[in-house]
A and B are shown apart, each in its own frame.
Chain A
Protein backbone atom coordinates (compact mmCIF):
# COMPACT_ATOMS: atom_id res chain seq x y z
CA UNK A 1 0.00 0.00 0.00
CA UNK A 2 1.51 3.33 -1.08
CA UNK A 3 0.55 5.62 1.82
CA UNK A 4 2.37 8.58 0.31
CA UNK A 5 0.03 8.55 -2.70
CA UNK A 6 -2.99 7.97 -0.48
CA UNK A 7 -2.20 10.94 1.75
CA UNK A 8 -1.30 13.07 -1.28
CA UNK A 9 -4.81 12.48 -2.66
CA UNK A 10 -6.38 13.12 0.76
CA UNK A 11 -4.45 16.38 1.17
CA UNK A 12 -5.22 17.50 -2.38
CA UNK A 13 -8.95 16.68 -2.05
CA UNK A 14 -9.27 18.54 1.25
CA UNK A 15 -7.29 21.52 -0.08
CA UNK A 16 -9.56 21.96 -3.09
CA UNK A 17 -12.65 21.47 -0.92
CA UNK A 18 -11.47 24.18 1.47
CA UNK A 19 -11.23 26.56 -1.51
CA UNK A 20 -14.77 25.96 -2.78
CA UNK A 21 -17.29 28.32 -1.20
CA UNK A 22 -20.23 26.20 -2.35
CA UNK A 23 -18.78 23.28 -0.42
CA UNK A 24 -17.47 25.13 2.61
CA UNK A 25 -20.59 27.14 3.39
CA UNK A 26 -22.72 24.14 4.46
CA UNK A 27 -19.76 22.71 6.39
CA UNK A 28 -19.61 25.84 8.54
CA UNK A 29 -23.21 27.01 8.55
CA UNK A 30 -24.98 23.72 9.37
CA UNK A 31 -23.00 22.93 12.57
CA UNK A 32 -23.33 26.55 13.74
CA UNK A 33 -27.10 26.47 13.22
CA UNK A 34 -27.52 23.04 14.80
CA UNK A 35 -25.19 23.37 17.75
CA UNK A 36 -25.15 27.08 18.53
CA UNK A 37 -28.41 28.52 17.25
CA UNK A 38 -30.71 25.61 17.98
CA UNK A 39 -29.66 24.88 21.63
CA UNK A 40 -29.89 28.57 22.44
CA UNK A 41 -33.29 28.74 20.80
CA UNK A 42 -34.55 25.60 22.59
CA UNK A 43 -33.31 26.78 25.96
CA UNK A 44 -34.74 30.28 25.57
CA UNK A 45 -38.04 28.87 24.28
CA UNK A 46 -38.43 26.67 27.37
CA UNK A 47 -37.51 29.61 29.58
CA UNK A 48 -40.03 31.81 27.82
CA UNK A 49 -42.73 29.17 28.11
CA UNK A 50 -42.84 29.86 31.85
CA UNK A 51 -45.97 28.35 33.37
CA UNK A 52 -46.82 26.57 30.09
CA UNK A 53 -43.92 24.21 30.78
CA UNK A 54 -46.48 21.66 32.07
CA UNK A 55 -47.06 20.85 28.39
CA UNK A 56 -43.71 19.04 28.45
CA UNK A 57 -44.69 16.94 31.42
CA UNK A 58 -46.01 13.96 29.39
CA UNK A 59 -42.68 13.87 27.49
CA UNK A 60 -40.66 13.74 30.70
CA UNK A 61 -43.04 11.29 32.36
CA UNK A 62 -42.82 8.89 29.41
CA UNK A 63 -39.04 8.58 29.80
CA UNK A 64 -37.64 5.31 31.18
CA UNK A 65 -36.74 5.56 34.83
CA UNK A 66 -32.96 5.29 34.21
CA UNK A 67 -33.11 8.31 31.90
CA UNK A 68 -35.34 10.31 34.23
CA UNK A 69 -32.92 9.63 37.06
CA UNK A 70 -30.07 11.03 34.99
CA UNK A 71 -31.89 14.34 34.50
CA UNK A 72 -31.25 15.34 38.11
CA UNK A 73 -33.72 16.52 40.72
CA UNK A 74 -34.13 20.05 39.47
CA UNK A 75 -37.37 21.68 38.43
CA UNK A 76 -39.41 20.39 35.51
CA UNK A 77 -38.05 23.27 33.47
CA UNK A 78 -34.48 22.21 34.20
CA UNK A 79 -35.24 18.54 33.54
CA UNK A 80 -36.83 19.36 30.18
CA UNK A 81 -33.86 21.46 29.14
CA UNK A 82 -31.38 18.80 30.25
CA UNK A 83 -33.33 16.07 28.44
CA UNK A 84 -33.43 17.95 25.16
CA UNK A 85 -29.81 19.09 25.29
CA UNK A 86 -28.41 15.85 26.68
CA UNK A 87 -30.39 13.21 24.78
CA UNK A 88 -32.30 14.73 21.88
CA UNK A 89 -29.28 16.63 20.59
CA UNK A 90 -27.13 13.49 20.82
CA UNK A 91 -29.11 11.91 17.97
CA UNK A 92 -29.38 15.25 16.20
CA UNK A 93 -25.62 15.35 16.30
CA UNK A 94 -25.36 12.42 13.87
CA UNK A 95 -26.45 14.70 11.04
CA UNK A 96 -23.05 16.40 11.14
CA UNK A 97 -20.76 13.54 10.09
CA UNK A 98 -23.22 12.45 7.41
CA UNK A 99 -23.61 15.97 6.05
CA UNK A 100 -19.85 16.61 6.02
CA UNK A 101 -18.89 13.36 4.35
CA UNK A 102 -21.64 13.63 1.75
CA UNK A 103 -20.60 17.17 0.77
CA UNK A 104 -16.90 16.36 0.60
CA UNK A 105 -17.30 12.97 -1.06
CA UNK A 106 -19.58 14.54 -3.67
CA UNK A 107 -16.92 17.15 -4.43
CA UNK A 108 -13.91 14.89 -4.29
CA UNK A 109 -15.40 12.18 -6.46
CA UNK A 110 -18.32 13.27 -8.61
CA UNK A 111 -16.96 16.83 -8.60
CA UNK A 112 -13.62 15.56 -9.83
CA UNK A 113 -15.34 13.91 -12.77
CA UNK A 114 -17.24 17.12 -13.43
CA UNK A 115 -14.03 19.17 -13.39
CA UNK A 116 -12.40 16.56 -15.65
CA UNK A 117 -9.50 16.03 -13.28
CA UNK A 118 -10.14 12.33 -12.69
CA UNK A 119 -8.60 10.98 -15.88
CA UNK A 120 -5.08 12.20 -15.07
CA UNK A 121 -5.38 10.57 -11.64
CA UNK A 122 -6.27 7.27 -13.28
CA UNK A 123 -3.08 7.42 -15.35
CA UNK A 124 -0.89 7.45 -12.21
CA UNK A 125 0.61 4.25 -10.75
CA UNK A 126 -1.90 4.38 -7.89
CA UNK A 127 -3.75 1.10 -7.60
CA UNK A 128 -7.53 0.85 -7.51
CA UNK A 129 -7.34 -0.13 -3.84
CA UNK A 130 -5.22 2.93 -2.95
CA UNK A 131 -7.51 5.22 -4.90
CA UNK A 132 -10.58 3.82 -3.19
CA UNK A 133 -9.02 4.13 0.25
CA UNK A 134 -7.87 7.71 -0.41
CA UNK A 135 -11.32 8.72 -1.61
CA UNK A 136 -12.85 7.30 1.58
CA UNK A 137 -10.21 8.59 3.95
CA UNK A 138 -10.30 12.28 2.96
CA UNK A 139 -14.02 12.91 3.57
CA UNK A 140 -13.98 10.62 6.64
CA UNK A 141 -11.15 12.53 8.31
CA UNK A 142 -12.90 15.80 7.49
CA UNK A 143 -16.17 14.47 8.92
CA UNK A 144 -14.46 13.43 12.16
CA UNK A 145 -12.70 16.80 12.45
CA UNK A 146 -15.90 18.79 11.91
CA UNK A 147 -17.77 16.44 14.28
CA UNK A 148 -15.26 16.92 17.09
CA UNK A 149 -15.17 20.69 16.44
CA UNK A 150 -18.99 20.79 16.52
CA UNK A 151 -18.98 18.89 19.79
CA UNK A 152 -16.50 21.41 21.22
CA UNK A 153 -18.75 24.24 20.09
CA UNK A 154 -21.78 22.53 21.62
CA UNK A 155 -19.98 22.06 24.94
CA UNK A 156 -19.15 25.76 25.05
CA UNK A 157 -22.73 26.75 24.23
CA UNK A 158 -24.29 24.40 26.80
CA UNK A 159 -21.77 24.76 29.59
CA UNK A 160 -20.76 28.40 29.23
CA UNK A 161 -23.48 30.34 27.45
CA UNK A 162 -26.32 28.40 29.06
CA UNK A 163 -24.59 27.57 32.36
CA UNK A 164 -26.74 29.95 34.38
CA UNK A 165 -29.98 28.67 32.85
CA UNK A 166 -29.33 24.94 33.15
CA UNK A 167 -27.30 24.89 36.30
CA UNK A 168 -25.46 21.59 35.65
CA UNK A 169 -22.91 20.22 33.16
CA UNK A 170 -24.41 19.01 29.87
CA UNK A 171 -23.05 16.67 27.15
CA UNK A 172 -20.16 15.54 29.32
CA UNK A 173 -21.47 11.98 29.65
CA UNK A 174 -20.50 8.51 28.38
CA UNK A 175 -23.37 8.80 25.86
CA UNK A 176 -21.72 11.78 24.19
CA UNK A 177 -18.30 10.10 24.19
CA UNK A 178 -19.85 7.12 22.41
CA UNK A 179 -21.77 9.35 19.99
CA UNK A 180 -18.73 11.48 19.10
CA UNK A 181 -16.03 8.80 19.04
CA UNK A 182 -17.89 5.64 18.01
CA UNK A 183 -21.29 6.26 16.45
CA UNK A 184 -20.44 9.40 14.43
CA UNK A 185 -17.32 7.88 12.82
CA UNK A 186 -19.40 4.81 12.01
CA UNK A 187 -22.15 6.93 10.46
CA UNK A 188 -19.53 8.80 8.42
CA UNK A 189 -18.02 5.52 7.23
CA UNK A 190 -21.43 4.14 6.27
CA UNK A 191 -22.47 7.32 4.49
CA UNK A 192 -19.17 7.43 2.62
CA UNK A 193 -19.23 3.81 1.56
CA UNK A 194 -22.67 4.40 0.02
CA UNK A 195 -21.65 7.72 -1.51
CA UNK A 196 -18.53 6.36 -3.18
CA UNK A 197 -20.65 3.75 -4.93
CA UNK A 198 -23.22 6.39 -5.88
CA UNK A 199 -20.63 8.98 -6.92
CA UNK A 200 -19.05 6.54 -9.35
CA UNK A 201 -22.40 6.40 -11.15
CA UNK A 202 -23.33 10.07 -11.29
CA UNK A 203 -21.78 12.76 -13.43
CA UNK A 204 -21.65 15.80 -11.22
CA UNK A 205 -21.35 17.32 -7.75
CA UNK A 206 -24.99 18.41 -7.45
CA UNK A 207 -26.33 14.97 -8.35
CA UNK A 208 -24.08 13.25 -5.81
CA UNK A 209 -24.85 15.90 -3.18
CA UNK A 210 -28.60 15.36 -3.59
CA UNK A 211 -28.16 11.64 -3.09
CA UNK A 212 -26.09 12.44 0.00
CA UNK A 213 -29.03 14.44 1.36
CA UNK A 214 -31.17 11.30 1.30
CA UNK A 215 -28.72 9.61 3.68
CA UNK A 216 -29.69 12.06 6.43
CA UNK A 217 -33.31 10.88 6.37
CA UNK A 218 -32.78 7.85 8.69
CA UNK A 219 -31.22 10.21 11.24
CA UNK A 220 -34.20 12.54 10.98
CA UNK A 221 -36.42 9.48 11.53
CA UNK A 222 -34.33 8.53 14.58
CA UNK A 223 -34.69 12.05 16.03
CA UNK A 224 -38.44 12.02 15.40
CA UNK A 225 -38.86 8.55 16.94
CA UNK A 226 -37.00 9.65 20.05
CA UNK A 227 -39.04 12.84 20.32
CA UNK A 228 -42.25 10.84 19.96
CA UNK A 229 -41.13 8.53 22.76
CA UNK A 230 -40.85 5.48 20.49
CA UNK A 231 -37.24 4.87 21.47
CA UNK A 232 -34.63 6.36 23.76
CA UNK A 233 -31.02 6.67 22.75
CA UNK A 234 -28.89 6.02 25.81
CA UNK A 235 -25.28 4.84 26.04
CA UNK A 236 -26.07 1.15 25.53
CA UNK A 237 -28.27 1.90 22.53
CA UNK A 238 -25.58 4.17 21.04
CA UNK A 239 -22.93 1.45 21.43
CA UNK A 240 -25.24 -1.09 19.78
CA UNK A 241 -26.24 1.27 16.98
CA UNK A 242 -22.59 2.19 16.44
CA UNK A 243 -21.58 -1.46 16.20
CA UNK A 244 -24.36 -2.14 13.72
CA UNK A 245 -23.43 0.94 11.70
CA UNK A 246 -19.77 -0.08 11.53
CA UNK A 247 -20.70 -3.64 10.53
CA UNK A 248 -22.93 -2.42 7.69
CA UNK A 249 -20.32 0.18 6.69
CA UNK A 250 -17.60 -2.47 6.41
CA UNK A 251 -19.91 -4.71 4.38
CA UNK A 252 -20.86 -1.89 2.01
CA UNK A 253 -17.20 -0.88 1.71
CA UNK A 254 -16.31 -4.44 0.73
CA UNK A 255 -19.01 -4.36 -1.95
CA UNK A 256 -17.84 -0.91 -3.09
CA UNK A 257 -14.26 -2.03 -3.29
CA UNK A 258 -15.26 -5.02 -5.39
CA UNK A 259 -16.96 -2.67 -7.83
CA UNK A 260 -14.33 0.03 -7.77
CA UNK A 261 -12.45 -0.32 -11.04
CA UNK A 262 -10.67 2.26 -13.15
CA UNK A 263 -12.53 0.92 -16.14
CA UNK A 264 -15.91 1.71 -14.59
CA UNK A 265 -14.83 5.21 -13.62
CA UNK A 266 -13.58 5.88 -17.15
CA UNK A 267 -16.98 5.13 -18.63
CA UNK A 268 -18.19 8.49 -17.31
CA UNK A 269 -15.05 10.59 -17.75
Chain B
Protein backbone atom coordinates (compact mmCIF):
# COMPACT_ATOMS: atom_id res chain seq x y z
CA UNK B 1 0.00 0.00 0.00
CA UNK B 2 1.49 3.39 -1.00
CA UNK B 3 2.34 5.55 2.01
CA UNK B 4 4.03 8.54 0.36
CA UNK B 5 0.68 10.27 -0.07
CA UNK B 6 -1.34 11.63 2.85
CA UNK B 7 -3.68 9.15 4.52
CA UNK B 8 -6.72 10.85 3.02
CA UNK B 9 -7.01 13.15 0.04
CA UNK B 10 -10.25 14.76 -1.05
CA UNK B 11 -9.63 16.99 -4.06
CA UNK B 12 -12.34 19.03 -5.76
CA UNK B 13 -14.98 16.44 -4.93
CA UNK B 14 -18.58 16.98 -5.92
CA UNK B 15 -21.28 14.42 -5.22
CA UNK B 16 -24.92 14.83 -6.12
CA UNK B 17 -28.01 12.80 -5.23
CA UNK B 18 -30.55 13.74 -7.88
CA UNK B 19 -31.11 17.47 -7.54
CA UNK B 20 -29.32 17.69 -4.20
CA UNK B 21 -25.62 18.50 -4.14
CA UNK B 22 -24.31 16.76 -1.04
CA UNK B 23 -20.68 17.78 -1.58
CA UNK B 24 -19.59 20.72 -3.68
CA UNK B 25 -15.91 20.97 -4.70
CA UNK B 26 -14.64 19.77 -1.35
CA UNK B 27 -10.89 19.81 -0.68
CA UNK B 28 -8.99 18.60 2.35
CA UNK B 29 -6.36 16.11 3.28
CA UNK B 30 -5.28 14.24 6.38
CA UNK B 31 -1.75 13.18 7.25
CA UNK B 32 -0.98 9.80 8.85
CA UNK B 33 -1.38 9.81 12.62
CA UNK B 34 -3.66 12.87 12.67
CA UNK B 35 -7.01 13.01 14.41
CA UNK B 36 -9.30 15.14 12.29
CA UNK B 37 -12.81 16.31 13.09
CA UNK B 38 -15.38 16.64 10.35
CA UNK B 39 -17.98 19.08 11.62
CA UNK B 40 -21.17 20.52 10.26
CA UNK B 41 -24.91 20.60 10.73
CA UNK B 42 -27.08 17.64 9.73
CA UNK B 43 -26.94 17.19 5.97
CA UNK B 44 -23.64 19.06 5.65
CA UNK B 45 -22.07 16.08 3.87
CA UNK B 46 -20.09 14.36 6.64
CA UNK B 47 -21.47 10.82 6.20
CA UNK B 48 -21.28 11.16 2.41
CA UNK B 49 -17.59 12.01 2.78
CA UNK B 50 -16.96 8.85 4.82
CA UNK B 51 -18.81 6.76 2.26
CA UNK B 52 -16.75 8.26 -0.57
CA UNK B 53 -13.50 7.63 1.28
CA UNK B 54 -14.46 3.96 1.71
CA UNK B 55 -15.61 3.38 -1.85
CA UNK B 56 -19.29 2.98 -1.02
CA UNK B 57 -20.06 5.93 -3.26
CA UNK B 58 -18.24 7.35 -6.25
CA UNK B 59 -17.68 11.10 -6.68
CA UNK B 60 -19.37 12.80 -9.61
CA UNK B 61 -16.34 15.08 -9.96
CA UNK B 62 -12.94 15.31 -8.34
CA UNK B 63 -10.63 12.77 -6.80
CA UNK B 64 -10.64 10.76 -3.59
CA UNK B 65 -7.60 8.85 -2.31
CA UNK B 66 -7.51 6.71 0.80
CA UNK B 67 -4.06 5.53 1.87
CA UNK B 68 -2.88 6.16 -1.66
CA UNK B 69 -5.64 4.06 -3.25
CA UNK B 70 -8.64 5.00 -5.35
CA UNK B 71 -11.66 3.81 -3.32
CA UNK B 72 -13.82 3.54 -6.44
CA UNK B 73 -11.46 1.12 -8.19
CA UNK B 74 -9.98 -0.54 -5.11
CA UNK B 75 -12.87 -0.36 -2.66
CA UNK B 76 -12.35 -3.82 -1.18
CA UNK B 77 -8.63 -3.16 -0.63
CA UNK B 78 -9.36 0.23 0.96
CA UNK B 79 -11.95 -1.26 3.31
CA UNK B 80 -9.45 -3.93 4.37
CA UNK B 81 -7.45 -1.10 5.98
CA UNK B 82 -10.23 1.01 7.41
CA UNK B 83 -12.54 0.60 10.37
CA UNK B 84 -15.83 2.48 10.31
CA UNK B 85 -18.06 3.17 13.28
CA UNK B 86 -21.39 3.96 11.63
CA UNK B 87 -23.77 6.52 13.07
CA UNK B 88 -26.06 3.76 14.32
CA UNK B 89 -24.14 0.80 15.78
CA UNK B 90 -25.43 -1.52 13.01
CA UNK B 91 -25.59 -4.60 15.23
CA UNK B 92 -28.06 -7.47 15.03
CA UNK B 93 -30.11 -7.78 18.22
CA UNK B 94 -30.59 -11.51 17.64
CA UNK B 95 -26.89 -12.31 17.91
CA UNK B 96 -24.72 -12.38 21.00
CA UNK B 97 -21.78 -10.03 21.27
CA UNK B 98 -19.42 -12.97 20.88
CA UNK B 99 -21.20 -14.33 17.79
CA UNK B 100 -21.27 -10.89 16.21
CA UNK B 101 -17.55 -10.35 16.79
CA UNK B 102 -16.69 -13.77 15.32
CA UNK B 103 -18.83 -12.99 12.30
CA UNK B 104 -17.16 -9.63 11.72
CA UNK B 105 -13.72 -11.19 12.23
CA UNK B 106 -14.48 -13.58 9.37
CA UNK B 107 -15.70 -10.68 7.25
CA UNK B 108 -12.41 -8.83 7.71
CA UNK B 109 -10.30 -11.89 7.13
CA UNK B 110 -8.84 -12.24 10.62
CA UNK B 111 -6.88 -15.54 10.43
CA UNK B 112 -9.07 -18.38 11.71
CA UNK B 113 -6.61 -19.44 14.41
CA UNK B 114 -6.43 -15.85 15.70
CA UNK B 115 -10.16 -15.07 15.76
CA UNK B 116 -11.00 -16.16 19.31
CA UNK B 117 -7.89 -14.57 20.83
CA UNK B 118 -8.52 -11.27 19.00
CA UNK B 119 -12.24 -11.24 19.81
CA UNK B 120 -11.71 -11.96 23.51
CA UNK B 121 -8.93 -9.38 23.69
CA UNK B 122 -11.23 -6.67 22.30
CA UNK B 123 -14.22 -7.71 24.40
CA UNK B 124 -11.96 -7.44 27.43
CA UNK B 125 -10.58 -4.08 26.34
CA UNK B 126 -14.09 -2.70 25.87
CA UNK B 127 -15.38 -4.23 29.13
CA UNK B 128 -17.86 -6.57 27.46
CA UNK B 129 -16.51 -9.96 28.48
CA UNK B 130 -19.16 -10.57 31.16
CA UNK B 131 -22.01 -10.03 28.69
CA UNK B 132 -20.32 -11.53 25.62
CA UNK B 133 -22.74 -14.48 25.40
CA UNK B 134 -25.87 -12.37 25.88
CA UNK B 135 -27.99 -11.26 22.94
CA UNK B 136 -27.17 -7.72 21.78
CA UNK B 137 -30.89 -6.89 22.06
CA UNK B 138 -30.37 -6.76 25.84
CA UNK B 139 -27.37 -4.41 25.71
CA UNK B 140 -27.49 -0.78 26.82
CA UNK B 141 -26.69 1.94 24.29
CA UNK B 142 -23.25 2.38 25.79
CA UNK B 143 -22.54 -1.34 25.48
CA UNK B 144 -23.70 -1.38 21.87
CA UNK B 145 -21.48 1.58 21.08
CA UNK B 146 -18.51 -0.10 22.76
CA UNK B 147 -19.19 -3.32 20.84
CA UNK B 148 -19.43 -1.39 17.56
CA UNK B 149 -16.16 0.35 18.39
CA UNK B 150 -14.56 -3.01 19.21
CA UNK B 151 -15.76 -4.28 15.84
CA UNK B 152 -13.94 -1.49 14.01
CA UNK B 153 -10.65 -2.68 15.54
CA UNK B 154 -10.94 -6.41 14.81
CA UNK B 155 -8.63 -6.26 11.80
CA UNK B 156 -6.34 -3.70 13.43
CA UNK B 157 -6.96 -0.98 10.80
CA UNK B 158 -4.54 1.94 10.64
CA UNK B 159 -7.37 4.27 9.61
CA UNK B 160 -10.55 4.82 11.61
CA UNK B 161 -13.74 6.66 10.70
CA UNK B 162 -15.97 7.36 13.67
CA UNK B 163 -19.40 8.79 12.86
CA UNK B 164 -20.90 10.33 15.99
CA UNK B 165 -19.02 8.05 18.39
CA UNK B 166 -20.66 9.45 21.54
CA UNK B 167 -24.12 10.33 20.22
CA UNK B 168 -26.93 9.27 22.55
CA UNK B 169 -24.54 8.11 25.26
CA UNK B 170 -24.75 9.20 28.89
CA UNK B 171 -21.88 11.42 30.07
CA UNK B 172 -19.97 8.58 31.73
CA UNK B 173 -20.23 6.28 28.69
CA UNK B 174 -19.32 9.20 26.40
CA UNK B 175 -16.21 9.92 28.44
CA UNK B 176 -15.28 6.23 28.24
CA UNK B 177 -15.56 6.29 24.45
CA UNK B 178 -13.52 9.53 24.26
CA UNK B 179 -10.80 7.97 26.39
CA UNK B 180 -10.72 4.98 24.07
CA UNK B 181 -10.46 7.20 20.99
CA UNK B 182 -7.65 9.15 22.64
CA UNK B 183 -5.79 5.92 23.34
CA UNK B 184 -6.33 4.62 19.82
CA UNK B 185 -4.90 7.80 18.37
CA UNK B 186 -2.05 8.42 20.81
CA UNK B 187 -0.80 4.98 21.75
CA UNK B 188 -1.76 3.01 18.68
CA UNK B 189 -0.79 5.82 16.25
CA UNK B 190 -3.90 5.44 14.13
CA UNK B 191 -5.28 8.05 11.77
CA UNK B 192 -8.77 8.95 12.94
CA UNK B 193 -11.53 10.93 11.27
CA UNK B 194 -14.36 11.83 13.62
CA UNK B 195 -17.75 13.23 12.62
CA UNK B 196 -19.41 14.83 15.58
CA UNK B 197 -21.87 17.50 16.64
CA UNK B 198 -20.15 17.67 20.01
CA UNK B 199 -17.77 20.59 19.54
CA UNK B 200 -16.15 20.27 22.96
CA UNK B 201 -15.38 16.67 22.07
CA UNK B 202 -13.89 17.70 18.74
CA UNK B 203 -11.77 20.36 20.44
CA UNK B 204 -10.64 17.80 23.01
CA UNK B 205 -9.78 15.00 20.58
CA UNK B 206 -8.89 16.50 17.24
CA UNK B 207 -5.61 17.91 15.96
CA UNK B 208 -7.53 19.71 13.27
CA UNK B 209 -11.09 20.18 12.12
CA UNK B 210 -12.78 20.62 8.77
CA UNK B 211 -16.13 22.38 8.92
CA UNK B 212 -18.61 21.59 6.16
CA UNK B 213 -21.61 23.73 5.36
CA UNK B 214 -24.11 22.64 2.74
CA UNK B 215 -21.50 20.42 1.16
CA UNK B 216 -18.73 22.99 1.03
CA UNK B 217 -15.64 23.39 3.20
CA UNK B 218 -16.30 26.40 5.37
CA UNK B 219 -13.07 26.22 7.36
CA UNK B 220 -10.11 23.90 7.82
CA UNK B 221 -7.54 24.24 10.58
CA UNK B 222 -6.68 23.87 14.25
CA UNK B 223 -8.97 25.35 16.88
CA UNK B 224 -6.61 28.30 17.29
CA UNK B 225 -6.55 28.91 13.54
CA UNK B 226 -10.34 28.77 13.33
CA UNK B 227 -10.72 31.11 16.29
CA UNK B 228 -8.36 33.52 14.56
CA UNK B 229 -10.09 33.17 11.23
CA UNK B 230 -13.50 33.74 12.78
CA UNK B 231 -12.42 36.78 14.86
CA UNK B 232 -14.19 35.18 17.78
CA UNK B 233 -15.05 37.60 20.60
CA UNK B 234 -13.68 36.47 23.94
CA UNK B 235 -14.71 37.04 27.53
CA UNK B 236 -12.13 38.90 29.59
CA UNK B 237 -11.42 39.52 33.26
CA UNK B 238 -9.59 42.76 33.95
CA UNK B 239 -8.19 43.78 37.36
CA UNK B 240 -7.12 47.39 37.78
CA UNK B 241 -6.29 49.81 40.57
CA UNK B 242 -9.54 50.20 42.55
CA UNK B 243 -9.55 54.01 42.42
CA UNK B 244 -9.19 53.95 38.65
CA UNK B 245 -12.03 51.54 37.94
CA UNK B 246 -14.37 54.24 36.58
CA UNK B 247 -11.80 55.42 34.07
CA UNK B 248 -11.00 51.81 33.16
CA UNK B 249 -14.69 51.10 32.67
CA UNK B 250 -15.11 54.08 30.37
CA UNK B 251 -12.24 52.87 28.18
CA UNK B 252 -13.23 49.18 28.15
CA UNK B 253 -16.82 50.01 27.15
CA UNK B 254 -15.48 51.17 23.79
CA UNK B 255 -14.01 47.67 23.21
CA UNK B 256 -16.79 45.40 24.45
CA UNK B 257 -19.71 44.93 26.79
CA UNK B 258 -19.05 45.35 30.52
CA UNK B 259 -20.91 42.56 32.27
CA UNK B 260 -19.95 43.24 35.89
CA UNK B 261 -17.84 45.56 38.00
CA UNK B 262 -16.75 44.42 41.46
CA UNK B 263 -14.11 46.48 43.24
CA UNK B 264 -11.20 46.70 40.83
CA UNK B 265 -12.45 43.80 38.72
CA UNK B 266 -14.22 44.30 35.42
CA UNK B 267 -15.79 41.37 33.55
CA UNK B 268 -15.94 42.18 29.88
CA UNK B 269 -17.51 40.35 26.98
CA UNK B 270 -17.35 40.56 23.21
CA UNK B 271 -13.75 41.71 22.75
CA UNK B 272 -12.15 40.23 19.66
CA UNK B 273 -8.76 38.63 20.13
CA UNK B 274 -7.18 41.10 17.66
CA UNK B 275 -8.29 44.10 19.70
CA UNK B 276 -6.88 42.92 23.02
CA UNK B 277 -3.49 44.64 22.56
CA UNK B 278 -5.29 47.90 21.68
CA UNK B 279 -7.38 47.68 24.85
CA UNK B 280 -4.34 47.15 27.03
CA UNK B 281 -2.49 49.99 25.26
CA UNK B 282 -5.46 52.36 25.80
CA UNK B 283 -5.56 51.56 29.52
CA UNK B 284 -1.80 52.05 29.88
CA UNK B 285 -1.97 55.32 27.97
CA UNK B 286 -4.70 56.53 30.35
CA UNK B 287 -2.45 55.72 33.27
CA UNK B 288 -4.62 52.90 34.61
CA UNK B 289 -2.70 50.45 36.78
CA UNK B 290 -3.33 46.95 35.42
CA UNK B 291 -2.94 43.94 37.73
CA UNK B 292 -4.41 41.23 35.55
CA UNK B 293 -5.72 40.69 32.03
CA UNK B 294 -7.22 37.21 31.72
CA UNK B 295 -8.88 36.39 28.41
CA UNK B 296 -10.95 33.26 28.44
CA UNK B 297 -9.57 30.64 26.07
CA UNK B 298 -11.84 30.78 22.98
CA UNK B 299 -13.57 27.54 22.22
CA UNK B 300 -14.10 25.65 18.99
CA UNK B 301 -17.80 26.09 19.64
CA UNK B 302 -17.53 29.87 19.59
CA UNK B 303 -15.46 29.69 16.39
CA UNK B 304 -17.93 27.26 14.81
CA UNK B 305 -20.91 29.42 15.65
CA UNK B 306 -19.17 32.53 14.42
CA UNK B 307 -18.23 30.84 11.16
CA UNK B 308 -21.63 29.31 10.66
CA UNK B 309 -23.30 32.61 11.53
CA UNK B 310 -25.48 30.74 14.02
CA UNK B 311 -27.78 29.76 11.19
CA UNK B 312 -29.86 26.65 11.51
CA UNK B 313 -30.27 24.00 8.88
CA UNK B 314 -32.85 21.27 8.59
Binds A, one of B84-92, B214-222, B234-242: B84-92
Q: Is the CB of A120 within 8 A of B103?
A: no
Task: Judge whether B99 is part of the interface by a CB distance below 8 angstroms.
Answer: yes
Bound CA span A266–B22, Å: 14
Residues of A near B168 (CB, < 8 A) are none
Q: Is the CB of A116 within 8 A of B57?
A: no
Bound CA span A124–B57, Å: 14
Bound CA span A8–B99, Å: 11
CB-contacts of A13-38 with B (<8 A): 15-16, 19-20
Bound CA span A8–B103, Å: 6
Our count of residue pairs bridging A and B at CB distance below 8 angstroms stands at 75
Residues of B near A267 (CB, < 8 A) are 17
* Least CB distance, B180 to chain A, in whole angstroms: 18
With contacts A16-B92, A116-B88 taken as known, whether A125 is within 8 angstroms of B99 at the C-beta atoms is no
Binds A, one of B105-113, B117-125, B126-134, B252-260: B105-113
Bound CA span A116–B76, Å: 21
CB-contacts of B46-89 with A (<8 A): 51, 54-58, 75-77, 79-80, 82, 84, 86, 88
Task: Judge whether B250 is part of the interface by a CB distance below 8 angstroms.
Answer: no
Q: Is the CB of A117 within 8 A of B91?
A: yes
Interface residues on A, range: 20 to 34
Q: Is the CB of B79 within 8 A of A123?
A: yes
User: B17, B51, B90, B109: which contacts A125 (Cβ < 8 A)?
Assistant: B109
Bound CA span A236–B145, Å: 58
CB-contacts of A83-138 with B (<8 A): 115-127
Known: A126-B107, A263-B57; 20 extra A-B contacts, CB below 8 A, are A2-B109, A4-B106, A4-B109, A11-B103, A16-B92, A19-B94, A115-B93, A117-B90, A118-B90, A119-B88, A120-B84, A120-B90, A120-B104, A122-B56, A123-B54, A123-B84, A125-B77, A125-B107, A262-B75, A267-B17
Query: Can you list 15 residue pairs at the A/B interface with Cβ under 8 Å?
Result: A4-B106, A12-B95, A12-B99, A16-B94, A16-B95, A117-B90, A117-B92, A120-B86, A123-B84, A123-B86, A126-B76, A126-B107, A263-B58, A266-B51, A266-B57
Q: Name B residues whose Cβ lies closer than 8 Å to a Cβ of A.
A: 17, 51, 54-58, 75-77, 79-80, 82, 84, 86, 88, 90-95, 99, 103-104, 106-109, 148, 151
Q: Name A residues whose Cβ lies closer than 8 Å to a Cβ of B.
A: 2, 4-5, 8-9, 11-12, 15-16, 19-20, 115-127, 262-263, 266-267
